[in-house]
Amino acid sequence: MPSSASDPRTPVRVGIVGLSAGGGWAARAHVPALAGLDGYELRALSASSAESARAAGEKYGVPLTFGSAGELARSEEVDLVVVTVKVPHHRELILPALEAGKPVFSEWPLGTDLAQAEELAALAEAKGVRTAVGLQARSAPPLRYLRDLVADGYVGRVLSTTMVSSGRNWGATFREGGDYLLDRAKGATLLTIPFGHTADALAMVLGEFTDVSATTATLRPQVTHETTGRVATMTAEDQIAVTGTLESGAIAALHFRGGHSRATDFHWEINGTEGDLVVKGDSPAVWMDRITLHGGRGSGTGLAELPVPASYERLPKFAGRSTETAYNVAYAYAQLLEDLTTGTRLTPDFAHAARRHRLLDRIQESARTGARLTVTA
């Protein structure tokens, strides 16, 4: 456990695997999130080589740099290992931290498939290591408020929920460095990333799926680079349609499609016996971009925006910063800090990630067989 477990005034010393001087998700989300929180110290980083690690250390003012994730994990000056690299490399970079007995925060998806996720979750349990996975939508103040509105009966009994969303990276074109997103075997797909993040938010608000029926397709098997015109093969699904039953008995219908829609890129409705709630997003990436809530209840009333109460904004340094990439990540880190220092279990861990991977596996199997399948925990 980190040094702060015995003294909460001692910062948790963080080592980030994959922080690059060239930018990327760690630089845009994790670094500013940690900088805006008390209780953490960004102490170390590792990169693909010692040279690139030194360059990143100089840029971000990180004192310790390592050329491998194993060296970082074994350092006595690192309490928490954060893995922020592409999904295909998660397993090989998480294993050294688990073997070293260090708490690990991994980006989502946890692994390239269910087998990897279950392997990592089982090892973490065997080692008695605290873990966290970057399903940060469930840490976002608006979605926590939405969960409470539903639980407090704003819509009455939930009858159904409907979601439609786009996924830019799986449209007709792809960005530089985005080739790996096109390959289903690499585990970074429309199903695992946008669908996985958003389905987890839905489950947090409305409960888990008990069964699913799915249709998926790859309707653009050939896509082009957005600037060079280079043609690449896409094997990842670019159309995902899922219906199912939630634990409450409510019916859910989700449609995710690659690319952009001129009509709407994200829309989520929750319909109940007494009212309706609608979630709208600045983009389809509700786990990292700003969302707004709208609701109406009773006869003769339309929808009105529902501002998030100030009581849900528990991080003063991030007040008014909901449009920033680091916003939801900061709230996830705040929950993790409470877990590490007080023993609570607020943060989704590797066991939770394995459960989410099992849902995705059931969806893939349903799409392959055409059968409605039961979803187990």
- In this prediction, residue 138 carries a pLDDT of 96
Note the Cα 318 to chain centre separation in Å: 19
- Per-residue pLDDT tens over the stretch 187-245: 999 999 999 999 999 999 999 999 999 999 999 999 999 999 999 999 999 999 999 99
The number of residues making up the chain comes to 377
- Per-residue pLDDT tens over the stretch 65-85: 999 999 999 999 999 999 999
Domain ranges of the chain: 3-137, 141-286+290-309
What average pLDDT score do residues 245-249 get? 98
Nearest to 206 by CA among 255, 256, 140, 162: 162
Percentage of the chain surpassing pLDDT 90?
Answer: 95
- Kindly state which CATH superfamily the domain 141-286+290-309 is placed in: Dihydrodipicolinate Reductase; domain 2 (3.30.360.10)
- In this prediction, residue 9 carries a pLDDT of 66
Q: Is the pLDDT reported for residue 7 higher than 80?
A: no
More confident residue, 163 or 3: 163
Number of H helices, E strands in the chain: 11, 18
Is 3-137 a CATH 3.40.50.720 domain? Answer: yes
- Per-residue pLDDT tens over the stretch 299-356: 878 999 999 999 999 999 999 999 999 999 999 999 999 999 999 999 999 999 999 9
How far is 361 from 195, CA to CA, in rounded Å?
12
* Token representation of residue 224: 């082009």
Nearest to 208 by CA among 157, 258, 247: 247
Domains 3-137 and 141-286+290-309 share a fold: no
- In this prediction, residue 331 carries a pLDDT of 98
